[in-house]
Structure 1
């Protein structure tokens, strides 16, 4: 396994496929499933590349950036165990020029959900993902559906800017009790961790309701607890991410929930009817 820290020394893309799994580290089973999906696309002769970079320009809260876990040696061991060919572990000052003045902006899909409550977040996401694509030159990249809005925005960026990278979606990986796997789960207290699976249960139950209003009311009542605070809870069109006013098209029920300073996100598809 090759480990590259300096963008200037990144090896050229081989003739075979190079499949990228972009991460911010603190790898868990969800990330490992993305790596396995990448290997299935790369095949025995292709490369699987993993980037590990805590991107400072996508954090809207300095305390969240400071608290983000960075167990690099453990992450590298997990990558070795999964047969990863290449790991990119740059420092921020090697990625961003001190006088940088260019940012990638998306103006439509980022208006709702996390984009509405985290100003500038997706500007940072788009900018770093495009930089990773330019540096690593993958033929494809794997993203999880837990970050549904991020996946939609990256797909739009690739389409709009004619980026020659295929975007591969992978279903959300969950703990045995239904909680979506996240690096942030390790920051929950035992009491919060016991309570957090209510998020998934609430979304699944609410999606069975027959109107947008009843879906949202049911979900809100089931999510709220003395331990958490809802950042947003929205029912949006699955394609445009605009608020859904009826159920004549496939929709997405999505939420972000704070447990103290730990912010968890999840979503659930609502079929049209």
Structure 2
């Protein structure tokens, strides 16, 4: 691979683009080439992008946080744990991660990717398009929407503060008990399907499942901006039922 091709990689975050040089390491965190936020929950250096013999790699150099990595269509998804690294092979790769209550999304663009997306025909079933095909009830879907609303309303990449469970329950007009029951059900369902990070120790399950659920929902396109009107409809229906 020529230097000109290798150099054609950019990182997009919050409306800004950063070119990545092929002969150096590009770091993301509180400090580094992309200093994205003064968030003490975020590592000083969390992600690193560098080129090894013509192959671009994304590495998690943090000690605690993980990232969700997906292609632009949300059909291929990986969980990048501390110490792990992945080759960058798509024209556009989305990286979603959370630090404390804040969720971040950046996009990595390659001018000459190893793989290019192709539109699947109506009869195609290559197994890639089923990652987001999770059967959700209406109440489960609006529960996820209430948590993901700030991310879905954001234009492009950037950062969003996620609501607490109490705030999300209030958004829907639900009691907190009902909201947490739905949250338990969805996390259990996705955990049984192999989605990582939704279960674990008691502390991590109670603290991190909301942000991990939003990361997965965004990456797998479980909910989209087109679904947002369901939130007001649910709140109105709940209020009508209480009258």
TM-score, normalised to structure 2's length?
A: 0.25
TM-score, normalised to structure 1's length?
A: 0.23
More helix by share: 1
